[in-house]
Protein backbone atom coordinates (compact mmCIF):
# COMPACT_ATOMS: atom_id res chain seq x y z
CA UNK A 1 0.00 0.00 0.00
CA UNK A 2 2.80 2.37 0.94
CA UNK A 3 4.60 1.53 -2.26
CA UNK A 4 1.47 2.27 -4.23
CA UNK A 5 1.10 5.66 -2.55
CA UNK A 6 4.76 6.40 -3.14
CA UNK A 7 4.33 5.48 -6.78
CA UNK A 8 1.31 7.74 -7.14
CA UNK A 9 2.99 10.70 -5.45
CA UNK A 10 6.11 10.27 -7.56
CA UNK A 11 4.19 10.37 -10.80
CA UNK A 12 1.41 12.63 -9.55
CA UNK A 13 1.61 14.83 -12.65
CA UNK A 14 0.57 11.93 -14.82
CA UNK A 15 -2.34 10.88 -12.62
CA UNK A 16 -3.57 14.44 -12.28
CA UNK A 17 -3.31 14.76 -16.03
CA UNK A 18 -5.47 11.67 -16.48
CA UNK A 19 -8.16 12.95 -14.12
CA UNK A 20 -8.42 16.43 -15.65
CA UNK A 21 -8.09 15.25 -19.24
CA UNK A 22 -10.81 12.64 -18.85
CA UNK A 23 -13.18 15.13 -17.24
CA UNK A 24 -12.51 17.71 -19.98
CA UNK A 25 -13.10 15.15 -22.71
CA UNK A 26 -16.27 13.96 -20.97
CA UNK A 27 -17.61 17.50 -20.99
CA UNK A 28 -16.60 17.88 -24.63
CA UNK A 29 -18.27 14.67 -25.76
CA UNK A 30 -21.35 15.07 -23.63
CA UNK A 31 -22.15 18.67 -24.52
CA UNK A 32 -20.93 18.54 -28.05
CA UNK A 33 -24.37 17.64 -29.26
CA UNK A 34 -25.57 21.16 -28.84
CA UNK A 35 -29.07 20.44 -27.57
CA UNK A 36 -27.82 19.42 -24.15
CA UNK A 37 -25.57 22.41 -23.70
CA UNK A 38 -27.10 24.33 -20.87
CA UNK A 39 -24.44 26.06 -18.93
CA UNK A 40 -21.04 26.40 -20.57
CA UNK A 41 -21.88 28.45 -23.63
CA UNK A 42 -22.63 31.95 -24.72
CA UNK A 43 -26.34 31.90 -23.92
CA UNK A 44 -25.87 31.76 -20.16
CA UNK A 45 -26.49 34.89 -18.13
CA UNK A 46 -22.86 35.88 -17.51
CA UNK A 47 -21.29 35.42 -20.92
CA UNK A 48 -24.49 36.50 -22.65
CA UNK A 49 -24.63 39.86 -20.90
CA UNK A 50 -20.89 40.42 -21.38
CA UNK A 51 -21.20 39.82 -25.10
CA UNK A 52 -24.23 42.11 -25.14
CA UNK A 53 -22.25 44.95 -23.62
CA UNK A 54 -19.29 44.62 -25.94
CA UNK A 55 -21.55 44.37 -28.97
CA UNK A 56 -23.36 47.51 -27.83
CA UNK A 57 -20.02 49.27 -28.05
CA UNK A 58 -19.09 47.77 -31.37
CA UNK A 59 -22.44 48.47 -32.98
CA UNK A 60 -21.60 52.18 -33.11
CA UNK A 61 -18.79 51.45 -35.51
CA UNK A 62 -21.17 49.74 -37.93
CA UNK A 63 -23.98 52.28 -37.86
CA UNK A 64 -23.32 53.46 -41.40
CA UNK A 65 -23.34 49.96 -42.90
CA UNK A 66 -26.48 49.03 -41.01
CA UNK A 67 -28.23 52.19 -42.14
CA UNK A 68 -27.28 51.55 -45.75
CA UNK A 69 -28.53 47.99 -45.66
CA UNK A 70 -31.78 49.03 -43.97
CA UNK A 71 -32.34 51.73 -46.57
CA UNK A 72 -31.75 49.23 -49.36
CA UNK A 73 -34.14 46.76 -47.78
CA UNK A 74 -36.78 49.47 -47.32
CA UNK A 75 -36.50 50.40 -50.96
CA UNK A 76 -36.96 46.77 -51.97
CA UNK A 77 -39.98 46.33 -49.71
CA UNK A 78 -41.51 49.59 -50.93
CA UNK A 79 -41.38 48.15 -54.40
CA UNK A 80 -43.58 45.28 -53.30
CA UNK A 81 -46.28 47.39 -51.69
CA UNK A 82 -49.57 47.45 -53.59
CA UNK A 83 -49.56 51.22 -54.05
CA UNK A 84 -46.38 51.12 -56.08
CA UNK A 85 -48.00 49.02 -58.81
CA UNK A 86 -49.86 50.56 -61.70
CA UNK A 87 -53.37 49.13 -61.79
CA UNK A 88 -54.43 48.20 -65.30
CA UNK A 89 -58.17 48.10 -64.91
CA UNK A 90 -60.13 51.26 -64.45
CA UNK A 91 -62.71 49.57 -62.31
CA UNK A 92 -61.91 49.38 -58.64
CA UNK A 93 -63.84 47.61 -55.97
CA UNK A 94 -62.94 46.52 -52.54
CA UNK A 95 -62.69 42.82 -51.73
CA UNK A 96 -62.43 41.43 -48.26
CA UNK A 97 -59.50 39.16 -48.80
CA UNK A 98 -59.56 35.94 -46.83
CA UNK A 99 -57.28 33.98 -49.10
CA UNK A 100 -54.10 35.27 -47.51
CA UNK A 101 -53.42 34.40 -43.93
CA UNK A 102 -50.28 35.38 -42.16
CA UNK A 103 -48.02 32.35 -42.01
CA UNK A 104 -44.63 33.82 -41.21
CA UNK A 105 -43.85 36.50 -38.67
CA UNK A 106 -40.41 37.90 -38.00
CA UNK A 107 -38.65 38.71 -34.74
CA UNK A 108 -35.82 41.17 -35.18
CA UNK A 109 -32.72 40.54 -33.04
CA UNK A 110 -29.25 41.97 -32.68
CA UNK A 111 -26.18 39.79 -33.10
CA UNK A 112 -24.12 39.93 -29.92
CA UNK A 113 -21.58 37.19 -30.61
CA UNK A 114 -20.48 35.82 -33.92
CA UNK A 115 -17.71 33.71 -35.34
CA UNK A 116 -16.78 32.84 -38.90
CA UNK A 117 -13.40 31.19 -38.58
CA UNK A 118 -14.14 27.98 -36.68
CA UNK A 119 -15.16 24.77 -38.36
CA UNK A 120 -18.48 24.97 -36.51
CA UNK A 121 -19.71 28.53 -36.17
CA UNK A 122 -22.43 29.78 -33.87
CA UNK A 123 -24.11 33.18 -33.57
CA UNK A 124 -25.63 34.49 -30.34
CA UNK A 125 -28.53 36.95 -30.50
CA UNK A 126 -30.18 39.05 -27.81
CA UNK A 127 -33.70 37.57 -28.07
CA UNK A 128 -34.88 34.38 -26.41
CA UNK A 129 -37.90 32.31 -25.55
CA UNK A 130 -39.62 35.32 -23.97
CA UNK A 131 -39.81 36.89 -27.40
CA UNK A 132 -41.41 33.82 -28.93
CA UNK A 133 -38.29 32.19 -30.27
CA UNK A 134 -38.12 28.41 -30.16
CA UNK A 135 -35.65 25.75 -31.19
CA UNK A 136 -35.28 24.85 -34.90
CA UNK A 137 -36.65 28.14 -36.22
CA UNK A 138 -35.01 29.63 -39.29
CA UNK A 139 -32.97 32.82 -39.19
CA UNK A 140 -32.48 35.25 -42.09
CA UNK A 141 -30.98 38.67 -42.58
CA UNK A 142 -31.79 41.33 -45.14
CA UNK A 143 -29.39 39.65 -47.56
CA UNK A 144 -30.32 36.01 -47.19
CA UNK A 145 -30.31 32.86 -45.10
CA UNK A 146 -28.26 32.96 -41.88
CA UNK A 147 -28.96 29.71 -40.05
CA UNK A 148 -31.19 27.88 -37.63
CA UNK A 149 -31.85 28.31 -33.89
CA UNK A 150 -29.89 25.67 -31.94
CA UNK A 151 -30.57 26.59 -28.31
CA UNK A 152 -32.75 29.11 -26.49
CA UNK A 153 -32.65 30.62 -23.02
CA UNK A 154 -34.94 33.28 -21.60
CA UNK A 155 -33.17 36.27 -23.10
CA UNK A 156 -30.62 34.87 -25.54
CA UNK A 157 -30.52 32.26 -28.25
CA UNK A 158 -27.74 30.57 -30.15
CA UNK A 159 -27.95 30.14 -33.91
CA UNK A 160 -26.28 27.27 -35.71
CA UNK A 161 -24.85 29.36 -38.52
CA UNK A 162 -24.94 28.35 -42.17
CA UNK A 163 -21.17 28.17 -41.68
CA UNK A 164 -21.42 24.95 -39.67
CA UNK A 165 -20.22 21.55 -40.80
CA UNK A 166 -23.60 20.01 -39.96
CA UNK A 167 -25.85 22.74 -41.38
CA UNK A 168 -28.04 21.60 -44.23
CA UNK A 169 -30.95 23.45 -45.82
CA UNK A 170 -33.40 22.72 -48.57
CA UNK A 171 -32.69 25.00 -51.54
CA UNK A 172 -33.72 25.41 -55.16
CA UNK A 173 -32.58 27.15 -58.32
CA UNK A 174 -34.55 30.30 -59.04
CA UNK A 175 -35.19 29.59 -62.77
CA UNK A 176 -35.01 25.83 -63.04
CA UNK A 177 -36.91 25.20 -59.77
CA UNK A 178 -35.02 21.98 -59.17
CA UNK A 179 -34.54 21.30 -55.50
CA UNK A 180 -31.33 20.30 -53.78
CA UNK A 181 -29.68 20.57 -50.44
CA UNK A 182 -27.42 23.40 -49.41
CA UNK A 183 -24.33 22.95 -47.26
CA UNK A 184 -21.31 24.93 -46.29
CA UNK A 185 -18.32 24.33 -48.57
CA UNK A 186 -15.55 22.00 -47.55
CA UNK A 187 -12.69 24.47 -47.35
CA UNK A 188 -13.97 26.61 -44.44
CA UNK A 189 -14.36 29.67 -46.65
CA UNK A 190 -16.98 31.98 -45.09
CA UNK A 191 -18.05 33.30 -48.52
CA UNK A 192 -18.70 30.00 -50.30
CA UNK A 193 -21.43 27.36 -50.02
CA UNK A 194 -22.12 24.13 -51.83
CA UNK A 195 -25.41 23.08 -53.45
CA UNK A 196 -26.02 19.40 -54.23
CA UNK A 197 -28.52 18.86 -57.04
CA UNK A 198 -29.91 15.88 -58.89
CA UNK A 199 -28.05 15.19 -62.11
CA UNK A 200 -30.88 16.30 -64.38
CA UNK A 201 -30.88 19.86 -63.03
CA UNK A 202 -29.56 22.58 -65.30
CA UNK A 203 -27.85 25.28 -63.24
CA UNK A 204 -26.56 28.40 -64.99
CA UNK A 205 -23.63 30.56 -63.93
CA UNK A 206 -24.80 33.52 -61.85
CA UNK A 207 -28.21 32.03 -61.18
CA UNK A 208 -29.63 32.79 -57.74
CA UNK A 209 -30.12 29.93 -55.30
CA UNK A 210 -33.17 30.44 -53.07
CA UNK A 211 -34.98 28.65 -50.27
CA UNK A 212 -37.49 26.04 -51.40
CA UNK A 213 -40.17 26.70 -48.80
CA UNK A 214 -40.20 23.07 -47.78
CA UNK A 215 -38.81 23.71 -44.34
CA UNK A 216 -38.13 26.65 -42.07
CA UNK A 217 -38.12 29.55 -44.49
CA UNK A 218 -40.66 31.13 -46.80
CA UNK A 219 -39.89 30.53 -50.48
CA UNK A 220 -37.48 32.84 -52.23
CA UNK A 221 -35.00 33.87 -49.53
CA UNK A 222 -31.66 33.95 -51.35
CA UNK A 223 -28.62 31.89 -50.39
CA UNK A 224 -26.37 33.39 -53.04
CA UNK A 225 -25.33 33.20 -56.67
CA UNK A 226 -23.71 30.29 -58.47
CA UNK A 227 -20.01 30.94 -59.02
CA UNK A 228 -18.72 27.57 -60.18
CA UNK A 229 -20.67 24.84 -61.96
CA UNK A 230 -18.23 22.00 -61.29
CA UNK A 231 -17.11 22.45 -57.72
CA UNK A 232 -16.61 18.79 -56.84
CA UNK A 233 -16.33 16.13 -59.53
CA UNK A 234 -17.38 12.56 -58.98
CA UNK A 235 -20.13 11.32 -56.72
CA UNK A 236 -23.76 10.76 -57.56
CA UNK A 237 -24.90 14.33 -57.24
CA UNK A 238 -24.16 17.51 -59.10
CA UNK A 239 -22.27 19.92 -56.82
CA UNK A 240 -22.23 23.60 -57.65
CA UNK A 241 -20.39 26.28 -55.72
CA UNK A 242 -22.43 29.23 -54.50
CA UNK A 243 -21.06 32.61 -53.41
CA UNK A 244 -23.02 33.43 -50.26
CA UNK A 245 -25.03 36.64 -50.32
CA UNK A 246 -24.73 37.20 -46.57
CA UNK A 247 -21.44 38.58 -45.32
CA UNK A 248 -21.31 36.71 -42.02
CA UNK A 249 -18.43 38.72 -40.63
CA UNK A 250 -20.48 41.92 -40.81
CA UNK A 251 -23.77 40.55 -39.50
CA UNK A 252 -25.51 43.05 -37.20
CA UNK A 253 -29.26 42.44 -37.25
CA UNK A 254 -31.10 39.24 -38.10
CA UNK A 255 -34.74 38.17 -38.34
CA UNK A 256 -35.97 34.97 -36.75
CA UNK A 257 -38.67 33.39 -38.90
CA UNK A 258 -41.62 32.22 -36.84
CA UNK A 259 -43.68 29.82 -38.92
CA UNK A 260 -47.21 29.66 -37.50
CA UNK A 261 -48.02 26.37 -39.19
CA UNK A 262 -44.72 24.63 -38.40
CA UNK A 263 -46.11 22.52 -35.52
CA UNK A 264 -48.97 21.40 -37.74
CA UNK A 265 -46.63 20.51 -40.60
CA UNK A 266 -44.18 18.57 -38.47
CA UNK A 267 -47.08 16.83 -36.73
CA UNK A 268 -48.53 15.60 -40.01
CA UNK A 269 -45.13 14.56 -41.29
CA UNK A 270 -44.42 12.64 -38.11
CA UNK A 271 -47.68 10.71 -38.53
CA UNK A 272 -46.78 9.86 -42.11
CA UNK A 273 -43.36 8.46 -41.28
CA UNK A 274 -44.60 6.24 -38.49
CA UNK B 1 3.08 35.34 -2.47
CA UNK B 2 0.14 37.71 -2.36
CA UNK B 3 1.65 39.72 -5.18
CA UNK B 4 2.00 36.61 -7.34
CA UNK B 5 -1.65 35.75 -6.87
CA UNK B 6 -2.82 39.25 -7.76
CA UNK B 7 -0.56 39.44 -10.84
CA UNK B 8 -1.81 36.10 -12.08
CA UNK B 9 -5.46 36.94 -11.42
CA UNK B 10 -5.13 40.16 -13.42
CA UNK B 11 -3.27 38.28 -16.15
CA UNK B 12 -6.07 35.69 -16.28
CA UNK B 13 -8.81 38.28 -16.73
CA UNK B 14 -6.84 40.36 -19.20
CA UNK B 15 -5.84 37.43 -21.39
CA UNK B 16 -9.35 35.96 -21.47
CA UNK B 17 -10.75 39.38 -22.32
CA UNK B 18 -8.26 39.90 -25.15
CA UNK B 19 -8.87 36.39 -26.46
CA UNK B 20 -12.66 36.40 -26.59
CA UNK B 21 -13.34 39.99 -27.57
CA UNK B 22 -10.40 40.79 -29.81
CA UNK B 23 -8.49 37.76 -31.09
CA UNK B 24 -11.64 35.73 -31.70
CA UNK B 25 -12.40 38.04 -34.60
CA UNK B 26 -8.92 37.81 -36.12
CA UNK B 27 -7.90 35.20 -38.65
CA UNK B 28 -5.67 35.06 -41.71
CA UNK B 29 -7.11 33.19 -44.71
CA UNK B 30 -9.01 30.92 -42.31
CA UNK B 31 -5.72 29.26 -41.46
CA UNK B 32 -3.93 31.19 -38.74
CA UNK B 33 -5.99 31.88 -35.62
CA UNK B 34 -4.12 33.02 -32.51
CA UNK B 35 -4.89 31.40 -29.14
CA UNK B 36 -2.94 33.87 -27.08
CA UNK B 37 -4.67 33.12 -23.74
CA UNK B 38 -2.41 30.09 -23.12
CA UNK B 39 0.30 32.59 -22.12
CA UNK B 40 -1.37 32.52 -18.70
CA UNK B 41 -0.46 28.85 -18.23
CA UNK B 42 3.03 29.43 -19.60
CA UNK B 43 3.77 32.24 -17.13
CA UNK B 44 2.60 30.55 -13.91
CA UNK B 45 5.47 30.41 -11.38
CA UNK B 46 7.92 27.49 -11.40
CA UNK B 47 7.14 26.22 -7.92
CA UNK B 48 3.38 25.96 -8.43
CA UNK B 49 2.05 22.58 -7.24
CA UNK B 50 0.92 20.25 -10.00
CA UNK B 51 -2.66 20.08 -8.69
CA UNK B 52 -3.03 23.84 -8.89
CA UNK B 53 -1.42 23.98 -12.33
CA UNK B 54 -3.84 21.43 -13.75
CA UNK B 55 -6.83 23.00 -12.02
CA UNK B 56 -5.97 26.49 -13.31
CA UNK B 57 -5.40 25.20 -16.84
CA UNK B 58 -8.73 23.43 -16.70
CA UNK B 59 -10.50 26.55 -15.45
CA UNK B 60 -9.04 28.94 -18.03
CA UNK B 61 -9.88 26.38 -20.72
CA UNK B 62 -13.49 26.18 -19.59
CA UNK B 63 -13.74 29.97 -19.35
CA UNK B 64 -12.62 30.38 -22.94
CA UNK B 65 -14.94 27.52 -23.93
CA UNK B 66 -17.89 29.37 -22.47
CA UNK B 67 -17.25 32.22 -24.89
CA UNK B 68 -16.39 30.01 -27.86
CA UNK B 69 -19.45 27.72 -27.44
CA UNK B 70 -17.24 24.63 -27.37
CA UNK B 71 -17.62 23.16 -23.87
CA UNK B 72 -14.61 21.03 -22.93
CA UNK B 73 -12.55 21.55 -26.10
CA UNK B 74 -10.17 24.24 -24.86
CA UNK B 75 -10.16 22.71 -21.38
CA UNK B 76 -8.86 19.41 -22.78
CA UNK B 77 -6.19 21.17 -24.83
CA UNK B 78 -5.08 23.26 -21.85
CA UNK B 79 -4.69 20.20 -19.63
CA UNK B 80 -2.45 18.65 -22.30
CA UNK B 81 -0.52 21.91 -22.36
CA UNK B 82 -0.04 21.73 -18.57
CA UNK B 83 1.42 18.24 -18.85
CA UNK B 84 3.81 19.30 -21.61
CA UNK B 85 4.82 22.28 -19.47
CA UNK B 86 5.69 20.02 -16.52
CA UNK B 87 7.73 17.70 -18.76
CA UNK B 88 9.56 20.57 -20.47
CA UNK B 89 10.44 22.30 -17.21
CA UNK B 90 11.56 19.01 -15.67
CA UNK B 91 13.90 18.37 -18.57
CA UNK B 92 15.38 21.84 -19.07
CA UNK B 93 15.23 23.81 -15.87
CA UNK B 94 16.40 21.55 -13.05
CA UNK B 95 19.47 20.50 -14.95
CA UNK B 96 20.57 24.08 -15.49
CA UNK B 97 19.72 25.06 -11.91
CA UNK B 98 17.24 27.86 -12.59
CA UNK B 99 14.93 26.52 -9.92
CA UNK B 100 15.03 29.53 -7.61
CA UNK B 101 13.71 31.85 -10.30
CA UNK B 102 10.06 32.70 -9.69
CA UNK B 103 8.43 32.88 -13.14
CA UNK B 104 9.32 31.61 -16.60
CA UNK B 105 9.14 35.03 -18.26
CA UNK B 106 11.17 36.28 -21.17
CA UNK B 107 13.08 38.82 -19.09
CA UNK B 108 14.18 36.25 -16.50
CA UNK B 109 14.88 33.22 -18.65
CA UNK B 110 16.34 34.87 -21.72
CA UNK B 111 15.17 34.81 -25.32
CA UNK B 112 16.56 31.42 -26.36
CA UNK B 113 14.98 29.42 -23.56
CA UNK B 114 11.69 31.28 -23.71
CA UNK B 115 11.43 30.90 -27.47
CA UNK B 116 11.93 27.13 -27.25
CA UNK B 117 9.55 26.90 -24.31
CA UNK B 118 6.82 28.95 -25.98
CA UNK B 119 7.08 27.26 -29.38
CA UNK B 120 7.03 23.68 -28.11
CA UNK B 121 4.15 24.29 -25.71
CA UNK B 122 2.15 26.27 -28.25
CA UNK B 123 2.64 23.61 -30.92
CA UNK B 124 1.47 20.89 -28.52
CA UNK B 125 -1.60 22.89 -27.50
CA UNK B 126 -2.59 23.91 -31.05
CA UNK B 127 -1.98 20.41 -32.42
CA UNK B 128 -4.26 18.88 -29.84
CA UNK B 129 -6.88 21.63 -30.01
CA UNK B 130 -7.30 21.83 -33.77
CA UNK B 131 -7.22 18.07 -34.29
CA UNK B 132 -9.81 17.54 -31.60
CA UNK B 133 -11.98 20.24 -33.12
CA UNK B 134 -11.87 18.89 -36.67
CA UNK B 135 -11.56 15.21 -35.67
CA UNK B 136 -11.20 13.93 -39.22
CA UNK B 137 -8.13 12.32 -40.69
CA UNK B 138 -9.13 13.27 -44.22
CA UNK B 139 -8.45 16.94 -43.52
CA UNK B 140 -5.13 16.33 -41.78
CA UNK B 141 -3.13 18.37 -44.28
CA UNK B 142 -5.31 21.42 -43.78
CA UNK B 143 -5.30 20.94 -40.00
CA UNK B 144 -1.53 20.61 -39.81
CA UNK B 145 -0.88 23.73 -41.85
CA UNK B 146 -3.38 25.53 -39.65
CA UNK B 147 -1.57 24.25 -36.53
CA UNK B 148 1.79 25.52 -37.74
CA UNK B 149 0.60 28.91 -38.97
CA UNK B 150 -1.52 29.51 -35.86
CA UNK B 151 1.44 28.58 -33.65
CA UNK B 152 3.67 31.06 -35.47
CA UNK B 153 1.05 33.73 -34.89
CA UNK B 154 0.59 32.87 -31.21
CA UNK B 155 4.34 32.67 -30.47
CA UNK B 156 4.82 35.99 -32.24
CA UNK B 157 2.25 37.58 -29.94
CA UNK B 158 3.89 35.97 -26.89
CA UNK B 159 7.34 37.30 -27.79
CA UNK B 160 5.84 40.70 -28.49
CA UNK B 161 4.17 40.81 -25.08
CA UNK B 162 7.39 39.48 -23.50
CA UNK B 163 9.33 42.42 -24.92
CA UNK B 164 6.65 44.93 -23.99
CA UNK B 165 6.74 43.83 -20.32
CA UNK B 166 10.52 43.36 -20.34
CA UNK B 167 12.05 44.15 -16.96
CA UNK B 168 15.67 45.11 -17.52
CA UNK B 169 16.59 45.17 -13.84
CA UNK B 170 15.93 41.51 -13.18
CA UNK B 171 18.18 40.29 -15.92
CA UNK B 172 21.73 39.57 -14.78
Cα–Cα distance measured from residue A128 to residue A207, given in angstroms and rounded to the nearest whole number: 35
Q: How far is A45 from chain B (nearest CA, A)?
A: 11
Report, as an integer, the average pLDDT of A244-254. Answer: 87
Cα-Cα end-to-end distance for chain B: 23
Contacts of A56 in chain B (CB under 8 A): none
Partnered with residue B114 across adjacent β-strands are none
The pLDDT of residue A14 is 85
Residue B52 lies in a domain: yes
Give tens-digit pLDDT for B101-154. Answer: 577 888 878 888 889 999 999 999 999 998 888 777 777 888 899 899 999 999
Number of Cβ atoms within 10 Å of the Cβ of A178: 16
The tally of domains found in chain B comes to 1
| A192-197 vs A238-244, strand pairing mode | antiparallel
Cα dihedral A231→A233→A237→A241 (10° resolution): 0
Residue numbers of the domain that contains B78: 2-164
Residue B41 binned pLDDT confidence (cut-offs 50, 70, 90): very high
**Do B71 and A23 lie within an 8 Å CB cutoff?**
no
Evaluate if residue A99 carries a pLDDT over 80.
no
Residues 149-168 of A with CB under 8 A from B: 158
| Residue A144: HSE in the Cβ half-sphere, 13 Å Cα cutoff | 22
User: What's the pLDDT score for residue A92?
Assistant: 55
Instruction: Please state the φ and ψ torsions of residue B97, each to the nearest 5 degrees.
Output: 70, 40
Q: Do A28 and B68 touch (CB under 8 A)?
A: no
Instruction: Give the per-residue pLDDT at B53.
Output: 92
Q: Which residue has the higher pLDDT, B86 or A41?
A: B86
CB contact under 8 A, B76 and A119: no
Contacts of A14 in chain B (CB under 8 A): 83
Per-residue pLDDT at B172 = 44
Nearest to B116 by CA among B155, B79, B147: B155
User: Residue B89 domain-assigned?
Assistant: yes
Chain A, nearest residue to B60 by Cα: A24
Q: Is B170 domain-assigned?
A: no
The pLDDT of residue B169 is 55
Residue B171 is predicted with a pLDDT of 45
Q: Is residue B129 part of a domain?
A: yes
For chain B, percent of residues with pLDDT exceeding 90: 40
Domain limits for position A227:
168-246
Distance from CA of B75 to the nearest CA of A (A): 6
A140 found inside a domain: no
pTM: 0.69
Of residues A91 and B138, which shows the higher confidence score?
A: B138
A180 is a domain residue: yes
Beta strands of chain A (E only): which ranges? 104-114, 120-125, 138-140, 145-152, 157-164, 168-173, 179-184, 192-197, 208-211, 222-228, 238-244, 253-259
ipTM of the complex: 0.81
Residue A152 inside a domain? The answer is no
Sign of CA dihedral A15, B48, B19, B30: negative
Q: Does pLDDT of B14 surpass 90? A: yes
CATH of the domain at A223: 2.40.10.350
Asked if residue B169 is part of any domain, the answer here is no
Q: Please report whether residue A19 resides in a domain.
A: no
B12 domain residue, yes or no: yes
> Does A11 lie at the interface with B, CB-CB under 8 angstroms?
no
Is residue A118 a part of any domain in this protein? no
pLDDT category at A274 given cuts 50, 70, 90 is low
Please state, for a pLDDT cut of 70, what percent of chain B lies above it: 92
Q: For residue A187, which residues of chain B lie inside 8 Å, CB to CB?
A: 30, 142
Could you tell me the pLDDT band of residue A263, with boundaries at 50, 70 and 90? confident
Q: How many domains does chain A have?
A: 1
Residue A79 domain-assigned? Answer: no
Going by pLDDT thresholds of 50, 70 and 90, the confidence category of residue A35 is very low
- Find which of B34, B44, B59, B69 to mutate to test the A interface (most A CBs within 10 Å of its CB): B69
B67 vs A47: CB contact, 8 Å cut-off? Answer: yes
In a domain, A73, yes or no: no
**Residue B125: CA count within 13 A, CB half-sphere:** 31
In a domain, A70, yes or no: no
Amino acid sequence: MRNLLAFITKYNAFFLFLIFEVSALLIYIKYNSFQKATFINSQNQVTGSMFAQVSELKSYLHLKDVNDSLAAENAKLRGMVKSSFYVDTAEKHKVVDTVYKQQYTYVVARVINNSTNQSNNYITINRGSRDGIGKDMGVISGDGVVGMIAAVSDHYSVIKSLLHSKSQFSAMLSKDKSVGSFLWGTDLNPHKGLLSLQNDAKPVMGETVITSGYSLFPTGIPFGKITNLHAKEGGLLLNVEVGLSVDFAKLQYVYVVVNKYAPEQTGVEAVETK
Amino acid sequence: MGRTIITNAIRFLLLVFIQVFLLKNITFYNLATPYFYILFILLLPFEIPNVLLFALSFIIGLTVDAFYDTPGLHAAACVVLALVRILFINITVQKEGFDNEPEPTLSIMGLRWFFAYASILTLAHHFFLLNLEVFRLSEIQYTLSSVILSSVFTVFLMLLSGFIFFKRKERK
